[in-house]
Structure 1
């Protein structure tokens, strides 16, 4: 029995791959500071492939996501001279920021089934069951709301999909640039990096960064969070002061 166990163990070790690819990641900065003069920023992701198989052709998909929350999309319809919000579609968890960058278009890297099962790309992240309370929509209606959300978020610069967003500097070294908009949300962000060879995932790693406030805005936010009663009292006094000042100015005029 012992000899058989040793043989099985030896065969298992022999069947195991001699080498396994691994990703080593680094960001140009792991903290983005927002001050009054912030107008957007670029983060550069560098990646290295360790233990690469000779002759393999690599593809990389980088997906960066920011804090998620509920989002409701409303469709306006004209009723006589008025435009009214009619049908709505609520999305339970929509990322405030989403960037999918790849060395080739996603369809050339992985199968359509894997794109949706792995939540790769804007549509795969967006589609899903509506939030509770949303009336049942037809497939065409639901697709229209998904398209509208993607279009709105893309126009705002909050979402982006780029099939040429990852550049190989040499065979085992790549780079991607993550563009952050001026009105980016605060909080933690996750960058998910996947390495593929012939459509099969060979390695996966994640790296994170944070978007934080700085300067006067940070001090005000800290005061509002740590001393809420004092903050509310000061805001009330300021409102009274501004109101009294405006009233005095208009009386003189």
Structure 2
């Protein structure tokens, strides 16, 4: 779907909304695609979110600001600290983050702290650190607040280095005073499943509108057929993988055998 057709659809939907009584902003969202197909040659991708605000309650002299948060499937992530004892490094305390988003992007039209108050950022888990700190903890978790903050910072750093977590204070651009766009970058090893994109509109610090839209990341081609077969015929799939491993092992031993 092209950007022009998406904007046209948003305009028509907005016009329809304006014909009915409204007492608050209405937020319309559209994605460039609502399904991302992953094949063996997938090297990452990008989705574009378009949004349009419709309503007449904007405060005098104000301008809208937007915060967009995209979240992927939850999974268990663990951060472990290494400790040195003499010449050796050993595993130290760990914190397990349960149901933490495997993918997380927080985009805003201005730096997040200038759009939303610190209390709202923490309670709504709008920043990367707030999302990590808000993930339920399991396993070994120290009570010390300073040490716990170090685990949170380490998780954010690791996920950002992998390209799975991203925060951009200039990631949302207003095309005019009521229409905005944001680009969501997906890494090459993006997880399969359902994703949620939440857009928030703020008017001088006041939450004026909130809306969500979803998309899915799915397998395609040979990978999809193998995944479906593995799901339907688990016993046969396991037996086949075992035979394949034996065949590869025998082939390797035969190739490197010395006479």
Report the TM-score, using the length of structure 2 for normalisation. Answer: 0.86
Contact (CA 8 Å) 2:99, 2:136: kept in 1 or not? no
Q: Partners of 2:247 and 2:189 in 1: how far apart?
A: 30
* Mapped partners of 1:128, 1:40: distance in 2: 28
Contact conserved, 1:89 with 1:130, CA < 8 A, in 2?
A: no
Deviations 1:131-188 (A, max 9, x none): 2442433111011111111111111110001111000000110000001011111100
In structure 2, relative to structure 1, the CA distance for the partners of 1:171 and 1:188 (3 Å cut) is same
Contact 2:22–2:55 (CA<8 Å) still a contact in 1? Answer: no
Q: 1:228 and 1:191 mapped to 2: Cα distance?
A: 33
How far off its partner does 1:130 sit?
5.8
Residues 1:67 and 2:70 aligned together: no
How much is the aligned-residue C-alpha RMSD, in angstroms? 1.7
Equivalent-residue separation in structure 1 for 2:253 and 2:119 (angstroms): 65
Q: 1:101 to 1:127 in 2, by over 3 A?
A: same
What is the rounded CA distance, in whole Å, between the counterparts of 2:56 and 2:173 in structure 1?
A: 17
Q: Distance in 1 between matches of 2:218 and 2:246?
A: 31
Alignment match, 2:3: none
Kindly indicate whether residue 41 of structure 2 is the aligned counterpart of residue 30 of structure 1. no
**Superimposed CA distance per residue, residues 38-94 of structure 1 (whole angstroms, 9 cap, x where no aligned partner):** 110010000011124465410110000001122110011122222111111121221
**Residue of structure 2 equivalent to 1:162:** 168
Gap change, CA 1:180 and 1:250, over 3 Å in 2 = same
- Take 2:253 and 2:74, find their aligned partners in 1: how far apart are those partners? 43
Partner of 1:36: helix, strand, or coil?
coil
Instruction: Point out where structure 2 has 5 or more consecutive residues left out of the alignment.
Output: 1-20
For residues 56 and 66 of structure 1, the distance between their equivalents in structure 2, rounded to whole angstroms, comes to 33
Moved over 6 A (4+): none
For the residue of structure 1 that corresponds to 2:149, the secondary structure is helix
Counterpart residue number, 1:208? 214
Q: Which runs of 5+ in 1 are unaligned?
A: 1-16
Separation of aligned partners in 2, 1:34 and 1:67: 16
Structure 1 position 242 matched with structure 2 position 242: no
TM-score, length of structure 1 as denominator length: 0.88
